Each structure stands twice: as C-alpha cells, then as structure tokens.
Amino acid sequence: MSDEQFDVVFFGILQPGKDKDTVMQNMARLFKTDAGKLLPYFAGGRKVIKGKINAEAAEKYRTALENVGLVIKIEACETTEDTAATAEATSPAPDTGDMSVAPVGSDVIENPVVKPAQKIDDISAITLAEAGVDVIENPVEIPAQMIADISAITMAEPGVDVIENPIETPPQGIKPLPDITLAETGADMIENPKPVKKAEVPDTSGLSLEN
C-alpha cells in the first residue's frame, strides 16, 4: 500500500447554485461545530481542511464536503523543502482541533424544507370501473347533422364529362407552308456535310512472316 499522504484543500469556491450561508450551516453540522468557527474557511485563499491523510480517507472527506456544497481539491502533501518555500504564500488554516466529522449517513442539511402532509379525504366508497368502461362523466353529445333529400340525384355514366361549362381553349393558328416539302425516306438531312478523309494505307511490301 502506498504511504503517500494528501491534503484536503478548499479555496472558498462553492458548488454552482449553492448559497454560502446554507453551505456554512451544512458544513458546521457535518463537523459538529458552530458556523461562526468556519468563517475563516470562506475568506478566500488556500485552506487545508484535513492534512496528511491517505488517499482513501481524502476521498471520503472530498465526498462529504462536496455533498454539503464545497468544491474540494485533493493535493499530495508537500515535502519539507516545498513546505518551507510556500509557507508564506499559504493562508493560515483555521483552528479545527475541536471539530469532528458526523457519522456516515447523518443528515447534515441545516433547516431542511419541511413539506406538510396533504390531507386525504375518505375514499373508502370509491371503486374502480371495469376494464373498458367509459369513465367520462357527462360526455359532450354531438347532435347528428340533418341531410337534405337527395333522392333525385343520379350518377353520370362512366366516362361522361361532369365539368359544367368547361373553359374552351381555341386552336392555335398555323401559317401556310407552301414552300416546305418532305425529304425522301433515307435522305441525308445534313446540308453541306464535311468530307470524310479516308485513312492512308501504309506500304506493307517489305513485311514478311518468319518461318
């Protein structure tokens, strides 16, 4: 098992949407202390809430503190040389000597919203309708529409044009074409076609086949 130790660090940053006063009350209940003693933690700067603990314990602290609304960072403990070099830049940690962590599963939410129980009337006389029964009480009745007498109406024969007064399209006039004649069947319709150049046949008199 690794002997590496870690610090549980808080920089005064809260989870999105969390109220500072509410978070302080929740944190105070978690550590079984007064909220006033936690004010230095929320003054800004780096604060070590719990230092020099193993990774498993650090993760437990992170989970508990993030549940009450804090943003927690786990940092590996610094060496002696690093600690001396950064001591002046680190904000002093508050006194937590009399603090302890609430047991696992404790309700650490301060002043939770209490929802009063709703009163339910006596429903002993209520029964369920049979499956498929129309349970709509007093449904809206739609009166039947009156249909006029259509006994004199007959259907047209198949193919009959049933459009009354169709729009007549006058035929388009065609100019006389006395000088136009039709070419004979198979005639070449291209006027002045380009002559087709015949391919030149090379001299093959010097060629022979090998025996």
Q: If you ran DSSP here, which 8-state letter would residue 170 be given?
A: P
One pLDDT digit (tens) per residue for the chain, 211 residues: 568 999 999 999 999 999 999 999 999 999 899 988 999 999 889 999 999 999 999 999 999 999 999 999 999 987 555 554 444 444 444 555 555 555 555 555 544 545 566 677 777 777 777 777 776 777 778 888 777 777 777 777 887 777 777 778 888 777 777 777 777 887 776 777 777 777 676 655 555 444 4
196: amino acid identity, one letter? V
Contact residues for 87 (Cβ-Cβ < 8 A; gap 6+): none
Q: Which domains does the chain have, with CATH numbers?
A: 6-86 (3.30.1390.10)
Fill in the amino acid letter for 13.
Answer: I
d(CA 50, CA 30): 14
How many whole angstroms separate alpha carbon 63 and alpha carbon 101?
Answer: 12
pTM of the model: 0.40
- Which pair of tokens denotes residue 198? 């015949």
Report the C-alpha gap between 138 and 187 in whole angstroms: 88
Which residues partner with 73 through β-bridges? 9
